[in-house]
């Protein structure tokens, strides 16, 4: 590559034309920049001017002065302009980092979020030793390292049975559904060169019902997707051609307080963690000698969550109505309730993906099941199906507990998830669709006065009467003891699954605003989608995934009439820049049209008002709405049929 000095020497014959050339370049660049700020979508951080045209550009006298200096002092000014140009290019590149840069930034943030001190670790270990004197940290970390490797191999072989005893029911359900979704897509995940770099304790939460430890796993591997028909050897060969990537995950394990470490007598040694008898596995996950459910968390550490390091949060969340609910059910705890909600979520995804709701029959109310069956029947008559690809859960958080007038407890659980989702013809590959962040509220109901079955621990896919595993048959009663399950008399069942806006108005929760939690929009770097994490809850206007979700909805709404005007495209691009959303993803949403959202908010509806209020709040993140943002809000309000309410929404804030 020639040196800068050589380049300048080669350009010297062109020196007489430099002033004119620079003038042409400047005259070309300045109007383009101004047009971008005036409606073309360029991100501009300074306050907007009220003037139209090029008032925000570089003053003409400065340009002429620069040209004069270049003409008089070319040896100084030309290198200076080259340096400034390179600096500007690097600046713009940092504003829009590449995929590699984004991964590096995510890894850096993950490292920052999961840093703890040795003093913290010592305190957590001592707290556990007070209840369990035989507890030692290093053996536990060694088991996590081994489980990590075993889980990756099970995922690669598409058979999670070898690690089932270590996973909560919801975690097991999630992996099973994910493998089905991959198979339906005709692909499998190929991984190789797996290496664990570090395993460290980074957190402890203790309650009356569970001790929960958070363990950071730093690892690297090669990962890619291949055809589902490829053999293991072919998949490994393909994975070897992929780039080695480093990632950080946080694994959460729970165990009942007071459980004592049994050295040499646990599942890793092939023994029941309760009685020490040989444990051979099995579909029931139950010891044949003492009848203990080995993945309940009642006898040893059970894996309940896997979150990406960039999503990890150390903060506790508050739940409205939790203290009142515990007055009637003292054993009510978030670990079990959220695991149950996660289980229902994956059964709900599985039912829609396969077009078969039998798996929900025992865990959903007849009304919820009837509504979903009606929707699926309508699609079948059209020869269409629902498609969920790369589905991942970012957070499962109980937000509100209440008692309804009919005598049922109601738990409103916010679930942040993402997927490439849509509707496509049966037996055909789904259309290319972007990954869409989703914000749903699952409402679970249970007869008031029912008590949490602590004997089951976090094994939540069981009959509350006899502890038998639930089957996927269409029967609504336990097939072992006959207990009716779908009516919610004994355990939490699914009553509704609604997008946040619909829940906000239809469930009478308009006065309650669930704080958002961070969520991933893609699969973890090891190929296995993220499991539910607690999340901390942040201000809605600062929630990255909520901004993505709302902007995708705006794009779908703009395309719902079949035409996206240049003005609408410019406004969406402006929002994408200001809200830090990748424009290529928004373009995919525009090109896909209204099929991205099967149930768009109806014009003038209460759901539409909730949606519009959310984007008003995001526009007001800096305390003001400028001219361009107002045009964007007016366009959205026009599509939603709420022009007359926009002014009051802005003034209310």
Residues in the chain where the model's pLDDT stays below 50: 1-58, 95-96, 509-542, 596-598
Each residue of 21-53: b (16+ CB within 10 Å) or e? ebeeebeeebeebbebbbbbbbbbeeeeeeeee
Identify the pLDDT of residue 297: 94
Number of domains the chain contains: 4
Identify the pLDDT of residue 543: 57
Note whether residue 532 is domain-resident: no
Cβ 250 vs Cβ 528: under 8 Å:
no
Note whether residue 529 is domain-resident: no
Note whether residue 108 is domain-resident: yes
| Residue 113 and residue 201 share a domain | yes
Note whether residue 393 is domain-resident: yes
Q: In whole angstroms, what is the distance from residue 521 CA to residue 437 CA?
A: 6
Q: In whole angstroms, what is the distance from residue 575 CA to residue 653 CA?
A: 20
**Comparing C-alpha atoms, which of 238, 399, 228 is closest to residue 321?**
399
Examine the fold and report which residue of 295, 317, 339 is the final residue of a domain before the chain moves on.
317
Identify the pLDDT of residue 8: 36
Cβ 223 vs Cβ 244: under 8 Å:
no
Note whether residue 239 is domain-resident: yes
Examine the fold and report which residue of 63, 96, 129 is the final residue of a domain before the chain moves on.
96
Task: Work out whether strand 244-255 and strand 435-447 pair parallel, antiparallel, or are unpaired.
Answer: unpaired
| Residue 217 and residue 141 share a domain | yes
Sign of CA dihedral 294, 296, 301, 307: positive
| Residue 333 and residue 286 share a domain | no
| Residue 162 and residue 35 share a domain | no
**Comparing C-alpha atoms, which of 574, 578, 584, 643 is closest to residue 608?**
643
**Comparing C-alpha atoms, which of 5, 150, 518, 463 is closest to residue 307?**
518
| Residue 77 and residue 109 share a domain | no
In 435-594, DSSP assigns E strands to 435-447, 493-499
Q: Can you give the CATH number for the domain in which 339 is found?
A: 3.10.450
Angle at 101 between CA 99 and CA 104, to 5 degrees: 110
Identify the pLDDT of residue 198: 94
- At which residue do the structure tokens 């994910």 appear? 178
| Residue 365 and residue 233 share a domain | no
Examine the fold and report which residue of 471, 500, 516 is the final residue of a domain before the chain moves on.
516
**Comparing C-alpha atoms, which of 553, 612, 551, 626 is closest to residue 582?**
551
* Host domain of residue 43: 4-96
Q: What is the largest CA-CA distance in the chain?
A: 96
| Residue 92 and residue 107 share a domain | no
Q: Under DSSP, is residue 514 helix (H, G, I), strand (E, B) or coil? A: coil
**Comparing C-alpha atoms, which of 152, 158, 150 is closest to residue 231?**
158
Sign of CA dihedral 346, 348, 354, 359: positive
Size (the chain), residues: 653
Q: Under DSSP, is residue 409 helix (H, G, I), strand (E, B) or coil? A: strand
| Residue 144 and residue 48 share a domain | no
Q: Is the pTM of this model over 0.75?
A: no
Note whether residue 383 is domain-resident: yes
Identify the pLDDT of residue 533: 34
Q: How far is CA 563 from the centre of its chain?
A: 30
pLDDT digits (tens, 9 = 90+) for 604-638: 777 778 778 777 776 776 667 777 777 778 877 88
Identify the pLDDT of residue 573: 82
Distances (CA, A) of 413 to 34, 211, 366, 590: 46, 22, 20, 31
Lookup: tokens for 505: 């108005």
Task: Work out whether strand 384-403 and strand 302-308 pair parallel, antiparallel, or are unpaired.
Answer: unpaired
| Residue 324 and residue 311 share a domain | no
Note whether residue 524 is domain-resident: no
| Residue 267 and residue 228 share a domain | yes
| Residue 324 and residue 310 share a domain | no
Identify the pLDDT of residue 95: 47
Q: In whole angstroms, what is the distance from residue 577 CA to residue 573 CA?
A: 6
Cβ-proximal residues to 376 (8 Å cutoff; 6+ apart), any chain: 351, 352, 355, 357, 386
Q: How far is CA 195 from the centre of its chain?
A: 25
Angle at 197 between CA 193 and CA 202, to 5 degrees: 140
Note whether residue 65 is domain-resident: yes
| Residue 54 and residue 116 share a domain | no
């Amino acid at each position: 590559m020639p040196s800068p000095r050589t380049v300048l020497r080669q350009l010297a014959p062109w020196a007489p034309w430099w002033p004119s050339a620079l003038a042409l370049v400047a005259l070309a660049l300045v109007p383009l920049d101004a047009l971008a700020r005036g409606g073309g979508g360029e991100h501009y951080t300074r306050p907007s001017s009220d003037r139209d045209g090029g008032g925000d550009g570089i003053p003409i006298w400065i340009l002429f002065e620069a040209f004069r200096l270049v003409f008089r002092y070319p040896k100084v000014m030309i290198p200076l302009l080259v340096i400034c140009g390179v600096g500007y290019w690097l600046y713009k590149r940092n504003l829009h980092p590449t995929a590699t840069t984004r991964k590096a930034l995510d890894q850096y943030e993950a490292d920052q979020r999961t840093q703890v001190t040795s003093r913290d670790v010592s305190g957590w270990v001592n707290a556990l030793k007070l209840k369990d004197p035989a507890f030692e940290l290093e053996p536990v970390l060694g088991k996590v390292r081994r489980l990590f490797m075993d889980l990756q191999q099970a995922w690669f072989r598409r058979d999670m049975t070898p690690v089932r005893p270590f996973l909560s029911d919801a975690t097991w359900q999630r992996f099973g559904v994910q493998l089905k979704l991959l198979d339906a897509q005709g692909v499998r995940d190929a991984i190789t060169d797996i290496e664990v770099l570090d395993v460290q304790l980074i957190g402890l939460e203790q309650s009356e019902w569970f001790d929960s430890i958070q363990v950071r796993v730093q690892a690297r591997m090669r990962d890619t997707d291949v055809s589902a028909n490829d053999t293991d050897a072919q998949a490994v060969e393909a994975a070897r051609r992929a780039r080695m990537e480093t990632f950080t995950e946080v694994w959460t394990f729970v165990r009942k307080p007071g459980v004592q470490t049994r050295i040499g007598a646990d599942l890793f040694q092939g023994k029941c963690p309760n009685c020490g008898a040989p444990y051979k596995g099995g579909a029931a996950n139950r010891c044949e000698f003492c009848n203990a459910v080995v993945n309940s968390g009642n006898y040893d550490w059970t894996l309940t969550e896997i979150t990406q390091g960039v999503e990890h949060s150390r903060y506790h969340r508050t739940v409205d109505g939790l203290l009142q609910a515990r007055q009637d059910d003292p054993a009510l705890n978030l670990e079990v309730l959220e695991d149950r909600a996660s289980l229902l979520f994956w059964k709900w995804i599985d039912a829609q993906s396969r077009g078969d709701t039998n798996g929900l029959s025992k865990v959903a109310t007849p009304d919820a099941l009837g509504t979903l069956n009606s929707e699926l029947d309508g699609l079948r008559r059209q020869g269409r199906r629902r498609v969920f690809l790369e589905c991942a859960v970012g957070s499962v958080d109980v937000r509100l507990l209440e008692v309804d007038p009919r005598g049922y407890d109601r738990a409103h659980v916010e679930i942040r998830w993402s997927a490439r989702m849509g509707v496509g013809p049966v037996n055909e590959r789904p259309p290319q669709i972007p990954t869409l962040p989703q914000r749903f509220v699952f409402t679970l109901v249970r007869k008031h006065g029912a008590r949490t079955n602590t004997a089951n621990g976090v094994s939540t896919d069981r009959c509350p009467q006899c502890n038998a595993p639930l089957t996927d048959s269409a029967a609504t009663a336990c097939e072992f003891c006959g207990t009716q399950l779908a009516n919610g008399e004994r355990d939490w069942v699914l009553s509704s699954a609604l997008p946040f806006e619909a829940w906000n108005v239809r469930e009478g929760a308009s006065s309650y605003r669930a704080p958002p939690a961070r969520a991933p929009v893609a699969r973890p770097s090891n190929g296995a989608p993220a499991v539910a994490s607690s999340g901390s809850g942040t201000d809605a206007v600062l929630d990255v995934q909520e901004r993505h979700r709302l902007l995708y909805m705006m794009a779908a709404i703009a395309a719902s009439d079949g035409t996206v005007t240049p003005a609408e495209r410019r406004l969406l691009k402006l929002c994408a820049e200001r809200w830090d959303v990748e424009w290529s993803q928004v373009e995919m949403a525009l090109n896909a049209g209204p099929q991205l959202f099967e149930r768009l908010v109806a014009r003038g509806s209460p759901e539409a008002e909730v949606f519009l209020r959310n984007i008003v709040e995001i526009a007001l993140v800096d305390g003001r709405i400028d001219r361009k943002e107002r045009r964007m809000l007016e366009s959205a309000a026009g599509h939603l049929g709420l022009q007359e309410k926009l002014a009051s929404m802005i003034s209310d804030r």
